[in-house]
Chain A
Amino acid sequence: MRVGRHAVLLAWTGVIVFPIFWMISTSFKDAGEWVAWPPHWLPHYPTLLNYAQIFAFGALDPTLSRQATEQAFTIWKGLGDAALVCTTASLLALLLGTFLAYAISRFRVGGKYFRHTILMIRMIPPIVVAISILIYYAIIIPYATTALLGVRISMFDTYVGLVLIYTVTTLPFVIWMMLTFIDEVPYTLEHAARLMGAGRIQVIRCIVLPLVASGMVVTFLFVFILNWAEFLLALTLTHPEVTTLTVLLNKFQSAAEGRLYGPQAAIGTVVTIPVVVLGLLIQKHLVKGFSFGTIRK
């Protein structure tokens, strides 16, 4: 029984780990090995060319330029944009979501089933959101602002536009997660503070927020990863100014070589690192966050 369970778990670990292994392995392969058959599990001729290419500043040095790659696809712009958009959107969603969750938990805002309704919003296929928002961003808002204000304001391909949509789409997750943490904070702690003369905001600041801090860290990380990995909305609502990493990855193809798997794998490896590092750094909070129910009352 135990052996069987371990075998299943090992097999499942293999399924999960294999793509990551393949990505890292490919990132060190030269162009000829990317799609070699039979597959080269490990690079036969390891190279750092893919990394040199994505980390290059400015135009590609002739030594880095492949025969078929005329264009420099450096990671810097995408990394900067993704970091800016994801951090801002995640913080904004965390701030709004925490206060909304507090209101739902303590004042039963929206009624008994509101928390489920919120999560249902996430079940709408992203493409439905993407297209309607695209119409707003690229057509309705510019048209309306030109007609009403005489100034053309477009949200399409702007940091503000992408931050807003990321904030809105991750808000249900933040509310849902923060609700579970806030629900765990006993009412009586707030009652005690209020009886001692603290106002609502003071109660939230001094009592509730410190107690759900680890939950907020967990939630932020979760939402950040969602935003970091988001592709469809970024692809639909931006071009060419704002470029997140996922959109950048999609651009790696050339007429002669097709998809440039090497640089793509290198970027994939590099973008996974912050998430892993972040996870390791806040491991303590993660454990605390997920075992919040055991708080001694």
Chain B
Amino acid sequence: MAGIALKNLVKSFGNYTAVSEISLDIRDGEFLIMVGPSGCGKTTTLNMISGLETPTSGEICIGGTVVNDLEPGERGLGMVFQDLALFPHMTVFENIAFGLRVRKVPAAEITRRVVAAAETMLIKPLLGKLPKQCSGGESQRVALARTIVTNPTVFLMDEPLSSLDAKLRVDMRTELKRLHEQLKATFIYVTHDQAEAMTMADRIVVMSKGRIEQLGTPLEIYNHPMTQFVAGFFGTPTMNFVEGVVEIGAAGARFCGAGLEQTLPASVCADLCGRNVVLGVRSEHVIIDGVAASAAGTARLLQPLGDATLVHFDTEAGKSLVAKVAPSTELAPGLPLKFRFVPEHCHLFDATNGRRHS
């Protein structure tokens, strides 16, 4: 059993702090995905868990034991790297067998386990080949077979799908999810691809500038972002943001900004009155129709996606927004339109620190 606990973990390189006091409990058997832009500290955190980086301060516990002073090989982890790190001078068999040879497992046992791992990953015919003779997807499976063969309790994955083409990446997501179900091990997966995070994770950690912005299930992160950064990072296209102030009138709370007036949900606190806020609304919650409460704008660009069409338009005040509408829309660039936001799906963030006002 291997839950992982990170306690006040800090990693500095000279004056630069890559990871700043993060604390995190990862449950046993969980598929946790760390996501964030480049340089947010997610890979550094993963490397500290693996033992490849030494924390500047803080504690790492695996299965209840502090492992700060243990060598990477003594932590019972398996890791898949971004570049896969297959040994180019060894055959696929030797690559998979390497960890077992290092542990001085008997030869017959090595063969049995390597073949079993190869069968699990459907790469048995590749065992005699060199990594350079394998395709991208095959190499990916070899890297996974090499990791599972030593039966680690925790799998660390550092953007393992980033080198694959879009189709293969989607297939491998399913494969990884299946592997997780099958092995029931703890998976910690690092990516900057929000789609990967949304589709595979039990929980997602969103990181920015060395800090944890939010920890939650994919739907919590998507529907209830705790900061403007998280709201902007998840979702395609990016959430629409409009700066303005909250006004409380007889009809309830309203948002006023960029020439727009938007009714806010009744749950918005009165003490937000007069505060500078950023209103966030996803494109699918921008409705383009002709009802009375709508504001006016002009369509600028249409992007058909097949199942929907993205309409990029400018408000009368010149603010650019995006709406996701049915593909049958009759809009065209340059035509006027009327739009409104769905009040229940409007998010308010503090204009200064980006935190959510719920």
A interface residues with partner B (beta carbon < 8 Å): 186, 188-189, 191-199, 202, 206-207, 210-211, 295-297
Contacts and interface: CB of A to CB of B under 8 A. Distances in A.
Nearest to A297: B83
A217 to B, nearest CB: 15
Given A191-B52, A192-B79, A197 B73 contact: yes
B150 interface: yes
Q: Which 6 A-B pairs have the closest CB atoms?
A: A197-B73, A196-B99, A188-B85, A192-B85, A197-B102, A188-B81
A168 to B, nearest CB: 32
Interface in B49-74: 50-52, 71-74
B83 A195 contact: no
A196 B150 contact: yes
B99 A186 contact: no
A210 B87 CA distance: 10
Nearest to A206: B98
A104 to B, nearest CB: 19
Among the interface residues B71, B82, B88, B131, which one has the most CB atoms of the partner chain A within 10 A? Answer: B88
A198 B73 contact: yes
B70 to A, nearest CB: 11
Contacts of A297: 83
B148 to A, nearest CB: 12
B279 interface: no
A206 B79 CA distance: 19
A195 B103 contact: no
B88 A194 contact: no
A296 B79 CA distance: 20
Contacts, number: 63
A207 B73 contact: no
Interface of B: 50-52, 71-74, 77-79, 81-83, 85, 87-89, 98-99, 102-103, 131-132, 146, 150
Given A191-B52, A191-B72, A296-B132, A196 B85 contact: no
17 contacts: A189-B87, A191-B50, A191-B72, A191-B81, A192-B85, A192-B87, A193-B98, A194-B52, A194-B73, A195-B79, A196-B150, A197-B74, A197-B99, A198-B98, A296-B88, A296-B131, A296-B132
Contacts of A188: 81-83, 85
Given A186-B85, A188-B81, A296-B88, A195 B132 contact: no
Contacts of B52: 191, 194-195
A264 to B, nearest CB: 45
B72 A195 contact: yes
A154 B244 CA distance: 88
A191 to B, nearest CB: 5
Contacts of A193: 87, 98, 102
Contact of B102 (A191, A196, A211, A295): A196
A194 B51 CA distance: 9
A196 B98 contact: yes
A186 B79 contact: no
A196 B73 contact: yes
Contact of A195 (B77, B82, B131): B77
Given A188-B81, A188-B82, A296-B132, A195 B87 contact: no
Given A196-B99, A296-B132, A211 B88 contact: yes
Contacts of B132: 296
Among the interface residues A196, A198, A206, which one has the most CB atoms of the partner chain B within 10 A? Answer: A196
A207 B87 CA distance: 7
Given A192-B87, A194-B73, 16 more contacts: A186-B83, A188-B82, A188-B85, A191-B52, A191-B72, A193-B87, A194-B52, A194-B71, A195-B73, A195-B79, A196-B99, A210-B89, A211-B88, A211-B89, A296-B88, A297-B83
A195 B103 CA distance: 12
A195 B50 contact: yes
Contacts of A192: 79, 81, 85, 87, 146
A197 B52 CA distance: 12
Contacts of A295: 88
A45 B51 CA distance: 76
A206 B87 CA distance: 10
B81 A198 contact: no
A209 B98 CA distance: 16
Contacts of B82: 188
A211 B85 CA distance: 13
Nearest to B95: A192
Contacts of B71: 194, 199
A206 B102 CA distance: 10
A203 to B, nearest CB: 10
Given A189-B87, A207-B87, A198 B78 contact: no
A197 to B, nearest CB: 3
Nearest to A192: B85
Nearest to A185: B88
A186 B150 CA distance: 23
Contacts of B83: 186, 188, 297
A158 to B, nearest CB: 40
A220 B103 CA distance: 34
A192 B72 CA distance: 9
Contacts of B88: 211, 295-296
Contacts of A211: 88-89
